[in-house]
Structure 1
Amino acid sequence: MLFGRIAGLIEAGDLVDAAHEIAHWRSAQPDDAGALTLAARVMRLCGRYGEASTTLDHALGVVPGYVPALVEMARTARTQGQAGPAAEWFARAWQAQQATHGEYGDHDWPAEWMELLSQSGRNQEGRDIAAVWCERDGKRAAPWFTLGLACQRDGELNAAFDAYSRAMQIDPDLPMLRSNLAALYNQLKDAQTARRLALDVIRGDPDNSLAWVNLSSAYLALRQPENALIAADRACVLAPSYNEALGGRISALKELQRWDEALATAIHLAQLAPNNRRVQWTVAMLQLVRGDYANGLINHEARWQGSGELAKVPVFRPEHRWQGEDLAGKTLFVWGEQGFGDALQFVRFVPLIAERVKAAGGTLAYNCFAGVLPLFQRSLARYGIEPVAHNAGNLAAFDFHVPIGSLPLMFGMTAETIPLPEGYLLADANRVAQWRGKLGGPEKLRVGLVWSGSRGHQRNPLRSIDPMKYAQTFAGVAGVEFYSLQVDDRDSVVRMRDAGLPVSDPTPELASFDDTAALMSSLDLVITVCTSVAHLGGALGVPTWLLLDVNPHWVWMLERSDSPWYSSLKLFRQSAYGDWSPVLDALQTALRERTEQHARQHTG
């Protein structure tokens, strides 16, 4: 067929021969819709968009609803950045093709439409259309691949896997299929399979940058950061401006504690993608962990679009966001955000903002998570502040609002001016007394243990520690009574006891942070990994030893053994990736010294 042969020339990049053949065709049949459409395609590829549109108008005047011309209209509009008109032309082509059940050589143009819809924030619409495409043309791999990609973008990983599997059955050599499957297996936490698929792609196409990115991600998940960096570096050479390649390099460099290179790479990426909030958030985390609060807190404002945990949280009433306006006669609503650790860390700023609001002649309303409400109510009462739980019902009327995590920026906070590092939360005195009555006498050092943070956190496997390592480290330390503060892990307590470490488990009596605060306040020391307990210990002023992996949460900064956020904390850091042994050795030595000191105080 003449149309298909000339379209093949264009696809192969042979525009000169194609143009000559089209000219010959048009001289014989000047009103042929196919010849006009192919002529317009060459015009588009040569940047003659106005001529292309005029020629396509001619083609559609000859054959209204001619699918190739409608598709070419969409491509011409899309090339010029006209996403809305392009989507409308694609929709008309789809309707025309379904109405006539027509076919033409370019079977896969709906994939371009799905991509455009995804870029326009209409991915669900694209998924629905892709599903119909699979029903009507399901014997080919491309529709299933397109459906899988749309599902993958929406986080519907099982649906994506099913669609990709159908595509693999039909055409295992379909371009991008194995690479996308590798990325999907990374998302499904099957790094071994992701690694195998990425290597399969690389063996056939060593210059495939996406495959190298997927391989880097797999190595990182397999806890091989050196290999991850090699793969990421190769991806960056192949695609120097590819966000995911540079992002993979940053991730590997952080695990290898090459912080200067990580920040330099992040800043380079920000220059390439100045409007990308995910990149801005990456820069913020690196600046903050290095103690650069002046710049880091500014970039921290990108968290609502840049943080993976907050990416799907709708921005709350941006038109009422307080930007420092006069508060005389106004109500400022301060609200808690993110997780419990953030709530415990940032509540210290509520008295400061309350003082400012009062001085301005305004009123403060403060909402917090229900899980910390009793603790916060007691602690803020001395300032005349009455917090309300988020789930208490309708919000109080307000004129302006500010999320609590933005207060450090608004106060111009630096590492040297963090307020109340000595502690600011008050446990229930009666409950503390009750716990002290239940626990062992003061002769022995009373130590609380936490070995895992939220099991859903992506870094928890690296932040947490095997409780059996606690047992091995502490079993020989005399003069200590250990208490588990790890909620919902009774089995580990039993295993530690069987390994020779007597651990009491009072956690069945802990129903809230207020209960935990009272128990912790009755202890002499808390030993924990990076979790909300560390923030609670510091906010209560309880001596707390915090174990940190090589890539810590930004609050804990780098290298130092203390924290400007909490004066009662002592930090024990990994020096090498994944290696807790030196940390535990130092912890054991420190605990022996602390125990001996405690014994002297209670026998002298």
Structure 2
Amino acid sequence: MREARHEAVTDGRERAGAALRQAIAAHKAGNLAAAEAGYQAVLAHDPEQADALHLLGLANHQRKAAREAFALVRRAIELRPDVAAYHHSLGRILGSNGKHAHALRAFIRALRLAPGHLGAENDLAATLCDMRRFGEAESLLENSLARSPGDADLRSTHARFLLMTGRAEQAVVALHAALKLAPHHVGALNNLGVALNLLGNTADSRLALERALAIDPNSVDANTNYGQLLLLQGEYAAGWAHHEWRLRRQDYRRKFAVPAWRGEPLGGRTILIWCEQGLGDAIHFIRYAPMVAARGGRVLVECRRPLHRLIAGVDGVTAVFDVGKSEGYAAHVPVMSLPHVFGTTLGDVPAAVPYVPRPAPSPIDGGGARLKVGLVWAGNPDNLRDGARSRRLSDFAPLAALRDVAYYSLQVGAGAGDPPPAGMPVTNLMPQVKDFYDTAADLAALDLLITIDSSSGHLAGAMGVPVWLLLDKVADWRWLMGRDDTPWYPTMRLFRREGDWPSLFARVAQALRQFEPRR
């Protein structure tokens, strides 16, 4: 009897082992459904089979089911806390959901259990980059590559580090080295596309991203970056479609109980437009709110608090809420998806201005000057491309020679403390400003705004205030290529850097001498 029981237990374990091996084979072949069914069958026989828990967690992670993935891998760790692979997987799940500090600890634990684990070192370096701890990332990558120079994942992560620290040319060299080792490395091809675009080589950038998508048509990063490249090149129909892939990124974690709006008639139903990414993006695309209302919708908007009063005055908007605070809507749409929903092309951009409120002008005394000109010179320093976007106030020195111009600062943040160039007094308007509605009142009192690519630039354009945008050689996708105007804002002029920055500011000063205000 005892022998029969022993044989039954042994037979059950063998069947479970065979089922686990079959599930792993299905997982490796990309058949997630079969893999998950196999892991669940193993767990039905033995709920504490840690490998099955771990691998089922990874399958859930691949399906973007973050909560389930986390719970399964945590349970595997509780059962077998000394398995490095489990901690490594936990770190990847946490990191993909933006929990970088927690991911960091998981990777460090994995490396304590298995020193030299290349996967954990690679992901730890990537996480350090995400946390802007670039010195530690560089040291780790150099040590790892010294031991394993033939690892394509490490080389691709090193190239990403170079990209994030403003060294696109070096990144291209590193990525070509990675692709020699692994020609079908989608991550390396995607990063190569990004790097080449930053260097202005859009043709080869496009080839790299198209190669990535030929290998993995479902790559979220490659689709998103390809969409932005197409938009930069003015291919709006395909560009907007690929740009929708951004919504599949892990940092777009918000879930809705109502369907996404695709442009169908709303028939009096309430719809939520939710703002995403930066403040300037919200101002840029809220122009579509009247068009949504025209489809029969009662329009609610969720946005950050500094935009509330401004957006509340946009035609078609019924009410404005903080992010996540609205309720009672029957459909939702991200604000940056509206060009795709409406099929916007270069020839039919909704560009009538103003489309935001234009308040009564602030009482700004120009002291008899011919022009009153606002200045914004710096953006968010956390933006990875801020080094190519932001300037110092001292860079505006060529404008000091224009004695009949009064200058006013609309700068916020760290750059607000920059001293002006010698002989160029700049009056700070921001101490009395509480939100973008107040900024709009200041802009209404000015003749011109000169700014880097900023939310204030979008606001001036949305109001119909003359605005000059100072751009690097390779600018954001919305400003297209090779033109000094934009279909989005009829009162905006683009100044693109062609040589160095001093020569751009000299051109701005010359244009300002010839500028006539609209009064």
Name the TM tier (shorter chain): 0.7 to 0.9
Residue 406 of structure 2, aligned match among 481, 500, 509: 481
Q: CA deviation at 1:333?
A: 2.6
Which residue is equivalent to 2:358? 427
Which residue is equivalent to 2:254? 313
1:194 paired to 2:146: no
Which residue is equivalent to 1:84? 36
Q: Which has the higher contact order (CA 8 A, sep 6+)?
A: 2
Residue 510 of structure 2, aligned match among 589, 597, 601: 589
Which residue is equivalent to 1:274? 217
> Cα deviation per residue 1:139-182 (whole Å; 9 max; x = unaligned)?
66555444444433443322332333344445432342332222
Which residue is equivalent to 2:339? 408
Q: CA deviation at 1:566?
A: 0.9
Which range moved further: 281-290 or 157-166?
157-166
Task: Name the CA shift for 1:130/1:297 in 2 (closer, same or farther; >3 Å).
Answer: closer
Distance 1:584 1:231 in 2: 34
Q: CA deviation at 1:189?
A: 1.6
- Matched position secondary structure for 2:271: strand
Aligned ranges for residues 351-430 of structure 1 at < 5 Å?
Answer: 351-355=290-294, 357=295, 362=296, 364-367=298-301, 369=303, 371-380=306-315, 385-391=316-322, 395=327, 398=330, 402-429=333-360
Residue 565 of structure 1, aligned match among 477, 488, 491: 488
CA RMSD, 1 decimal: 3.5
Q: CA deviation at 1:528?
A: 1.2
Question: Quick one: which amino acid aligns to residue 176 of structure 1?
Answer: G
Question: Quick one: which amino acid aligns to residue 280 of structure 1?
Answer: N
TM (norm. structure 1) is: 0.74
1:512 paired to 2:446: no
- Matched position secondary structure for 1:351: helix
Tell me, yes or no, if the aligned pair for 1:77 and 1:83 is still in contact at 8 Å.
yes
Task: Name the CA shift for 1:195/1:274 in 2 (closer, same or farther; >3 Å).
Answer: same
Tell me, yes or no, if the aligned pair for 2:468 and 2:492 is still in contact at 8 Å.
yes
Q: CA deviation at 1:481?
A: 1.8
Distance 2:129 2:166 in 1: 13
Question: Quick one: which amino acid aligns to residue 367 of structure 1?
Answer: V
Question: Quick one: which amino acid aligns to residue 345 of structure 1?
Answer: H
Residue 445 of structure 1, aligned match among 350, 371, 393: 371
- Matched position secondary structure for 2:301: strand
Distance 1:97 1:371 in 2: 51
Distance 1:196 1:586 in 2: 42
Distance 2:111 2:343 in 1: 55
Residue 450 of structure 2, aligned match among 514, 520, 527: 527
> Cα deviation per residue 1:298-320 (whole Å; 9 max; x = unaligned)?
333333215x75x22325622x6
Distance 2:512 2:357 in 1: 26
Distance 2:301 2:103 in 1: 39
Question: Quick one: which amino acid aligns to residue 478 of structure 1?
Answer: R
What are the ranges of 5 or more consecutive residues in structure 1 without an aligned counterpart?
1-31, 34-57, 99-107
Tell me, yes or no, if the aligned pair for 2:171 and 2:195 is still in contact at 8 Å.
yes
Question: Quick one: which amino acid aligns to residue 341 of structure 1?
Answer: G
Q: CA deviation at 1:136?
A: 6.3
Question: Quick one: which amino acid aligns to residue 355 of structure 2?
Answer: Y
- Matched position secondary structure for 1:176: helix
Aligned ranges for residues 320-359 of structure 1 at < 5 Å?
Answer: 321-325=261-265, 329-331=267-269, 333=271, 335-338=273-276, 339-355=278-294, 357=295
Which residue is equivalent to 2:390? 464
Task: Name the CA shift for 1:196/1:69 in 2 (closer, same or farther; >3 Å).
Answer: farther
Larger radius of gyration: 1
Identity of aligned residues (%): 27
Tell me, yes or no, if the aligned pair for 1:293 and 1:414 is still in contact at 8 Å.
yes
Which residue is equivalent to 2:234? 291
Distance 1:122 1:425 in 2: 39
> Cα deviation per residue 1:331-373 (whole Å; 9 max; x = unaligned)?
3636242243233222333334444x3xxxx454343535444
Which residue is equivalent to 1:152? 95
How many residues are matched?
A: 508
Q: CA deviation at 1:200?
A: 2.8
Which residue is equivalent to 1:102? none
Tell me, yes or no, if the aligned pair for 2:306 and 2:434 is still in contact at 8 Å.
no
Distance 1:206 1:508 in 2: 54
Task: Name the CA shift for 1:182/1:354 in 2 (closer, same or farther; >3 Å).
Answer: closer
Distance 1:303 1:135 in 2: 35
Tell me, yes or no, if the aligned pair for 1:87 and 1:116 is still in contact at 8 Å.
no
Question: Quick one: which amino acid aligns to residue 188 of structure 1?
Answer: M
> Cα deviation per residue 1:243-268 (whole Å; 9 max; x = unaligned)?
21111101111110111111222223
Aligned ranges for residues 38-49 of structure 1 at < 5 Å?
Answer: none
> Cα deviation per residue 1:23-47 (whole Å; 9 max; x = unaligned)?
xxxxxxxxx99xxxxxxxxxxxxxx
Tell me, yes or no, if the aligned pair for 1:485 and 1:506 is still in contact at 8 Å.
yes
Question: Quick one: which amino acid aligns to residue 583 of structure 1?
Answer: L
Distance 1:210 1:59 in 2: 46
1:172 paired to 2:115: yes
Distance 2:224 2:286 in 1: 22
Q: CA deviation at 1:128?
A: 4.8
TM (norm. structure 2) is: 0.85
Residue 75 of structure 1, aligned match among 17, 21, 24: 21
Task: Name the CA shift for 1:139/1:484 in 2 (closer, same or farther; >3 Å).
Answer: same
Which range moved further: 246-255 or 70-79?
70-79
- Matched position secondary structure for 1:70: helix
What are the ranges of 5 or more consecutive residues in structure 2 without an aligned counterpart?
none
- Matched position secondary structure for 1:301: helix
1:220 paired to 2:163: yes
Distance 1:459 1:352 in 2: 33
